[in-house]
Amino acid sequence: MSDEFYIKRCLDLAALALENVSPNPMVGCVIVVDGKIIGEGYHQEYGKSHAEPNAINAVFDSYGNEAENLLKQATAYVNLEPCAHFGKTPPCADLLVKHQLKKVIIGNRDPFSGVDGKGIEKLRNAGIEVVSGILDDECRYFNRRFFTRIQKQRPYIILKWAETANGYFATKDGHQKWISGALAKRLAHQWRGEEDAMLIGKQTAIMDNPQLTVREWTGKNPIRLVIDKNLQVPVTNHIFNAAAKTIIFNEIKTDVVANIHYIQMEDMHFYLAQKIAFQLYLMDIQSVIIEGGANILNQFLSTNLWDEARIFTSSTSWSDGVSSPSINGNLQETVQIGNDKLSIYLNDIK
């Protein structure tokens, strides 16, 4: 099999932990001898073992006393450079050196300053052959949340909304009126479990009274983020229930009441999108879905603080309403979801 085949297998393994490893990257490792996979593993949960030790342990579990000799003949494939620093776990590069692997093939170099070539250097200094850059673009996109947090000091920002066939986003009187269908709603709940947080504004919290949970899917509930400058959202609303941690950005107080965290910010009418993005970075929130309303979405669009937009377009039209935000990005794909069309845009203005 080709190097690309095994790196793709690393990605398949790593994807199993999409909901559990943030703010770490998703990493898989495959160990091969003479064209045969003898062990594989992935980083399953933040704070626990990384992909490389899990793969090496799998070799010992399968081969017992033969494992040491097999590892000396082996090539390890990993989609991200093995770490070279002590964090919550020991350096993975040291482990590969300890077992004297013959070769290590890597997808991406790790942009984190504690690694960033140091893992590769350790391996090469120990006489291990290293090849990097295999499926580099694919691996980078796969870990786009991690790369964005490290390189831009902000989370990966996903904008999401639904609009009518004739471009309306919400009713003029502010009352809730569903645009997309049941399948789109279920998919949106799946997305919630895949990202760290959801962000809405005060008007959406009051008018729609959303729960922002994954109740129509399985998985973890995201952190709920609400922009409520003057603390006007009633505490009886769903976002104040115990289903998930909720953070309220406001100008009045900083406090913690059970699962509700109030974070005071100054001058929220200036540079709000930038302030929110940096605050989330400081909190190790690696990805966020912004569901609006229109004012919040437009603030992130106008400051070019977004990476991906997911837009459902209904087959129905309204006679009037609030116009949808205008998106200027690279249309990546369109998919039919029931009676709705899903358009996914990527921000190519970096």
Does the annotation list 83 as a binding residue? yes
Does the annotation list 92 as a binding residue? yes
Structure letter (DSSP) for residue 125: H
The first and second tokens of residue 276, run together, are 């929110």
Does the annotation list 165 as a binding residue? no
Q: From residue 297, how far is each of 200, 248, 314, 315, 344 by CA, in Å?
A: 9, 17, 19, 23, 15
The one catalytic residue in 40, 52, 163, 195 is 52
Does the annotation list 10 as a binding residue? no
- Ramachandran category for residue 231: left, alpha or beta (phi over 0 → left; psi -120 to 50 → alpha): left
Q: With contact defined as beta carbons under 8 Å apart, do 156 and 144 qualify?
A: yes
The first and second tokens of residue 71, run together, are 């590892």
Give which of 275, 169, 162 is closest to 225, Cα–Cα. 275
Does the annotation list 189 as a binding residue? no
Does the annotation list 161 as a binding residue? no
SS3 307: coil
Report CA 2 to chain centroid distance, whole Å.
28
Does the annotation list 266 as a binding residue? no
**3-state class percentages of the chain: helix first, strand second, coil last, to nearest 5:** 30, 25, 45
Does the annotation list 208 as a binding residue? yes
Is residue 52 annotated as part of the catalytic site, yes or no? yes
The first and second tokens of residue 128, run together, are 């291990």
Distance CA 163, CA 258 (A): 36
Does the annotation list 196 as a binding residue? no
The backbone torsions φ and ψ at residue 213, rounded to the nearest 5 degrees and listed phi first, read -120, 180
Does the annotation list 204 as a binding residue? yes
Torsion over CA: 208, 209, 214, 215 (sign): negative
Distance CA 343, CA 109 (A): 31
Give the type of residue at 27.
V
Give which of 104, 41, 31, 93 is closest to 68, Cα–Cα. 31
Q: Which residues contribute to the annotated binding site for substrate?
A: 192, 212, 215, 291
Q: Which residues contribute to the annotated binding site for NADP(+)?
A: 162, 178, 204, 208
Active site residues: 52
Q: Which residues contribute to the annotated binding site?
A: 50, 83, 92, 162, 178, 192, 204, 208, 212, 215, 291
